[in-house]
Structure 1
Amino acid sequence: MDLALSPAEQAFAADIRRFFSQEYPQDVLALVRDGRKLTRDDHVRSQQALNAKGWLGVGWPAEHGGPGWTPVERYLFEQELELAGAPSIIPMAVIYIGPIICAFGTPEQQGRWLPDILESRAMWAQGYSEPESGSDLASLRMSAVRDGDDYVLNGTKIWTSGAHWADWIFCLVRTEKCERKQDGISMICADMRTPGITVHPIISIDGAHELNRVEFDNVRVPAANMIGEPGKGWHYANVLLAAERVSYAHIGRKRADLAELRRVAATMPGSVAATMADEPLFARRVALAEIRLNAVEMSVLRVLCGDAAPAAVSALKIACTELAQEITELWVELAGRDRAIVADRTRADWRDAAPEAAPFAVPRTASYLFERAQTIYGGATEIQKTIVWRALDRANAGIARS
Structure 2
Amino acid sequence: DDWDPFQGVDGDEIRLGQSLPESGPAAAFGAIAPGMQAYFDYLNENDPIVEGKNVVVVARDDGYEAGRAVANVEEMIDTEDIFAFVHLIGTAVNAAVRPITADNCIPHLFNSTGFPLWGDPANYPWNTGNILNYVTETQIWCQAITDEFGEGATVAALIQNSDFGKTYQDALNNDPACAGIDIVEEQLHDQAADSITNEMTTLISSGADVFLAGTTGAFCPQSVGAVAQSEWRPRFYMSYTCNNLASFFTPVQDAAGALAADGAGVRMTNINKLCGDPKWADDPAIQEVEMVLDEYLGVTCADGSYSTGVLFAHLVETVLRDAAAMPGGLNRVNLMSAAWTLDTADPLLMGGTQKTDGVNDAYIQEAAVIQEVVVVDGALGYTDVSDIIDLE
Question: Fold conserved (TM > 0.5)?
Answer: no
TM-score by length of 1: 0.26
**TM-score between the two structures when normalised by the length of structure 2:** 0.27
Larger-Rg structure: 1
